[in-house]
Every structure is written in C-alpha cells, then in structure tokens.
Amino acid sequence: MYISDLEAKNLICKIGLKMWEKQMVAANDGNISLRTGENSVILTPTGVSKGDLIPDMLIKVDMAGNIMEGTLRPSSELQMHLNIYRNNPEIVSTCHAHCMFLSIFACAGIELDMATSPEPILISGKIPVVPYECPGTLELAKSIIPYVNDYSVVLLSNHGPISWGKTPLAAWHTLESAEAYAKSCMIIKNFFSDYRALSSKQIEKLEDRFHPIKEKNRVYCTEKETNRDPGRSYSDFNTIVCNLSEESLEKLANLVAKKLKGK
Ligand SMILES: [Zn+2]
C-alpha cells in the first residue's frame, strides 16, 4: 500500500531529522527513499544534511531513475535504492546511514549474529556483510541484489548499513534497531565475553509467538540454556581478563606460552 507523494516527503524529512539528531549521519551522509507508486519513488537529494531537509528539496523519480519532479540532484545512491525496489516489489522504504556502531562492524567485515535479546533477533536477525564496492557506483547498486529478498538490513563493507522494509516506517525502524543491536553486541562481547545467549529452543518459542525467522536470518545460538540461572554478582567481574570465557582464556594462555617460548 503506497502513501501519497506529499506524505512521503513529510515522512522523509522527519526520518532525516531523527537520523541527524541521533548522530547516525555526519555532514551530508545518508539517503532515504519511499516508493509512492508502481513507477514512482521519492528520495533525498545529494549534498544536503539529513537534518536540514524540507519537502521541496526532495526528488521524484520513476523506476528507471528519470527525474519527474525536483530541482536538486538526486542522491548518488539512487540506483542502489531502485535496485532494492526492482528486486523485491514488497519493499516500500529504504534508509542508508553511516551510524557509528554498524559502520565499525562494516569496516571490520564482521556480520552481526549474536542471540542477545528478542527484538533484534526478530527485527533484523543476522546482519550480513556485502563485499566492498565504491560508493555511488552501479557496482555497489548491483552488489546488494542477492540480499534484498532474505534480509532487511545489510552492512556495506567499509561504508555503512542500508535497510529496507514493507511499510513506510519499517526501513527506519530496522536501521534504528540494528544500530542499537550493534552497540550492545560490541559492549557485551568486549566486557562480558561469556554472555548468556538465547538458546535455539527459546528462539523457536519467539517464532511461535511472533513470526517465523528465515533460515539466512538466523543468529548464532547454543543448545545450552544458562539465562534462567540466578544472576551473577557484578562485583566478581574484577577485570576484563578475569571475565574471559574458557575458550578465550585458553587462547590467551597459548599466546603467553608462545611468547615465553620465544624468549
Ligand atoms: Zn554512504
């Protein structure tokens, strides 16, 4: 179900401002688009801060990328947005930003797949890494095609995330949720490496209660269920080293042994 061009323009300005206020974009970074018909898409212009958008700045294009309305130049990632709509007709919204935590994972080439809490498991699920292509090119626009039917957000290598969704607000909410997920994954992994993941059984129950999760979207989880044990004392976590998992401790011990052997 499409919304009107005017509604789409107002919504894009609102999302842009939120994006900028949440520091998910710097300078003129990021781009947002909404599909408003079988052959029409409204999107942000190039060279404008997402915090300064007004409806008159937005551009209307057809599905071939021809400008139908607007005086400014469309975002250089226009073809990437169009490829999402062309390859999954159910999608009506797309958001791209350079938010800090997701962009760090994109630079490290690390996909997000921790079973931390129900919301990210259900909203984005596993977030994969798309091989690097130069921003603003047709190669980048093509690189995401294999992902548009299996995921709702991906990490463009050494660049940042792009999300999409089946409602006008879905892409934005997915991006916002994914950034919070990336932030918590990084903090948990670095400070509490033996975190208590949701088990496969607990994820099955989430699927029964909410919606099924596609195979490719599944996060990593273990059979072991420790999150119903009593809470542990934070006072016992004296240092990061003391809090290493058995596996990490073993790795550290091997590294130390290797170092000592070399002397
Ligand atoms: Zn970008």
Non-local (6+) Cβ contacts of 196 within 8 A are 226, 227, 229
Distance between Cα 135 and ligand 1 center (Å): 7
pLDDT at residue 193, as a whole number: 67
Q: What is the rounded distance in angstroms from the CA atom of residue 212 to the CA atom of residue 68?
A: 39
- Does residue 156 contact residue 136 with C-beta atoms inside 8 Å? no
- pLDDT tens, position by position, 204-218: 999 999 999 999 999
Non-local (6+) Cβ contacts of 189 within 8 A are 114, 195
> Which one-letter amino acid corresponds to residue 14?
K
Distance between Cα 226 and ligand 1 center (Å): 40
Distance between Cα 123 and ligand 1 center (Å): 22
Distance between Cα 96 and ligand 1 center (Å): 7
Distance between Cα 203 and ligand 1 center (Å): 33
pLDDT at residue 194, as a whole number: 75
Fold of 5-191: L-fuculose-1-phosphate Aldolase (3.40.225)
Distance between Cα 126 and ligand 1 center (Å): 21
Distance between Cα 48 and ligand 1 center (Å): 13
Catalytic residues: 77
Distance linking the first and last C-alpha atoms of the chain:
69
pLDDT at residue 167, as a whole number: 97
pLDDT at residue 248, as a whole number: 79
Q: What is the rounded distance in angstroms from the CA atom of residue 95 to the CA atom of residue 34?
A: 9
Distance between Cα 196 and ligand 1 center (Å): 34
Instruction: Sketch the domain layout of the chain as residue ranges.
Output: 5-191
Segments of the chain with pLDDT less than 70:
193, 237-244, 263
Distance between Cα 60 and ligand 1 center (Å): 20
